[in-house]
């Protein structure tokens, strides 16, 4: 049984954060473990409050897991402050997990900031250089590349800029652009466009978390990066197509559509 550790925030609404990650790991046959960085009081409409976890507790959660069980891949989500980023980076340097997928979570779909203002520089200088893959959405890529992204050609330029921050590879997700949600992958030599068909739905809460968790799970299972991304793209597309119409706002993707198909 392969294992994956998510280091991210808790989403009480179950659609994003460590809840989405653990459900996705399980649906892809990987044993999921979690180190919680923040507790968010959240649903499909809003983030009502956030409590950050003490950095010593974050460190202990990661150490307890990696010293006993280890992890075939690590997925990183919401890290709200420079102290939390530094703590997680120290853990990654100490335990050296083979695969690190960094989802640079900044703002929730509902518009709530999940990364404090002064944290961007820390993310760029401390964490991105440790990542096997960084997976920004369009707004996050604009911030990391410090340029507007209006179309696919802009995505190519932004990939080049973000790659220079030191990650082994970059995947800019195209969901926020008009047109088809195509994601652009760049590892420093060549580009690969992973094409998608837009599914007309508002239920896209946690799509980025689910995609990056799926990539981490597939890397844990030994897939090469492009294959992991390709299969994770299929997974998220099906999860959105089977998303749940719950709550008044952005419903969650369906994390168990694999199992759903098996049991129905």
If binding is defined by CB under 6 A, does position 198 make contact with ligand ADP? Answer: yes
Kind of pairing between the strands at 170-172 and 183-186? antiparallel
Instruction: Please identify which residue in 23, 163, 173, 255 interacts with ligand ADP, judged by CB under 6 A.
Output: 173
Query: CA-to-CA distance for 73 and 101, rounded, in angstroms?
Result: 8
If binding is defined by CB under 6 A, does position 236 make contact with ligand ADP? Answer: yes
185: phi then psi, degrees, rounded to nearest 5: -110, 140
| Cβ distance to ligand MP5 smaller for residue 21 or 72 | 21
If binding is defined by CB under 6 A, does position 76 make contact with ligand ADP? Answer: no
Instruction: Please identify which residue in 19, 37, 237, 243 interacts with ligand ADP, judged by CB under 6 A.
Output: 237
Query: CA-to-CA distance for 2 and 33, rounded, in angstroms?
Result: 11
Give the alpha-carbon dihedral of 68, 69, 71, 77, to 10 degrees.
-70
Asked whether the beta carbons of 102 and 131 are under 8 A apart, the reply is: yes
Which residue of this chain has its Cβ atom nearest to ligand ADP in the complex? 208
Asked whether the beta carbons of 138 and 176 are under 8 A apart, the reply is: yes
Binding span for ligand ADP by CB under 6 A among 53-61, 79-87, 184-192, 199-207: 199-207
If binding is defined by CB under 6 A, does position 204 make contact with ligand ADP? Answer: yes
If binding is defined by CB under 6 A, does position 163 make contact with ligand ADP? Answer: no
Binding mask 127-146 for ligand ADP (x = CB under 6 A): ----------x---------
Pair of tokens at residue 44: 């499909």
If binding is defined by CB under 6 A, does position 183 make contact with ligand ADP? Answer: yes
Binding residues for ligand ADP, rule CB under 6 A, total 18
Q: Which stretches of the chain bind ligand MP5, using CB under 6 A?
A: 8-9, 11, 16-17, 40, 42, 77-78, 105, 108-109, 114, 205-209
**Shortest distance in whole angstroms from residue 200 CB to ligand ADP:** 7
Q: CB under 8 Å to 166, separation ≥6 — which residues?
A: 128, 129
219: phi then psi, degrees, rounded to nearest 5: -65, -40
Taking CA 174 as the corner, what is the angle to CA 170 and CA 178, rounded to the nearest 5 degrees?
Answer: 160
| Cβ distance to ligand ADP smaller for residue 65 or 251 | 251
| Cβ distance to ligand ADP smaller for residue 66 or 216 | 216
CA 170 to chain centre: 12
Residues that bind ligand ADP in the complex, under the rule CB under 6 A: 137, 173-176, 181, 183, 196, 198-199, 204, 207-208, 211, 233, 236-237, 240
């Amino acid at each position: 049984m392969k294992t994956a550790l998510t280091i991210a925030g808790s989403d009480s609404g179950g659609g994003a954060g460590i809840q989405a990650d653990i459900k996705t790991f399980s649906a892809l046959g990987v044993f999921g473990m979690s180190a919680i960085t923040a507790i968010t009081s959240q649903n499909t409409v809003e983030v009502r409050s956030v409590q950050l976890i003490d950095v010593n507790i974050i460190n202990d959660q990661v150490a307890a897991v990696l010293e006993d069980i280890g992890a075939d891949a690590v997925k990183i989500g919401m890290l709200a402050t420079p102290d939390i980023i530094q703590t997680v980076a120290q853990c990654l340097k100490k335990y050296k997990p083979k695969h690190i997928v960094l989802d640079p979570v900044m703002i929730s779909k509902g518009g709530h900031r999940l990364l404090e203002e002064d944290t961007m520089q820390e993310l760029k200088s401390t964490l991105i250089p440790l990542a096997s893959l960084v997976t920004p959405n369009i707004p996050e890529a604009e911030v990391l590349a410090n340029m507007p992204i209006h179309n696919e050609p802009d995505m190519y330029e932004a990939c080049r800029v973000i790659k220079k921050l030191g990650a082994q590879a970059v995947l800019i997700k195209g969901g926020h652009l008009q047109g088809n949600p195509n994601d652009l992958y760049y590892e420093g030599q060549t580009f690969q466009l992973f094409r998608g068909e837009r599914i007309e739905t508002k239920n896209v809460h946690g799509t980025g978390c689910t995609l990056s968790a799926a990539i981490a799970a597939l890397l844990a299972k030994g897939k090469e990066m492009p294959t992991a991304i390709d299969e994770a793209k299929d997974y998220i597309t099906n999860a959105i197509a089977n998303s749940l119409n719950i709550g008044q706002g952005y419903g969650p993707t369906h994390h168990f559509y694999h199992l759903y198909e098996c049991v129905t």
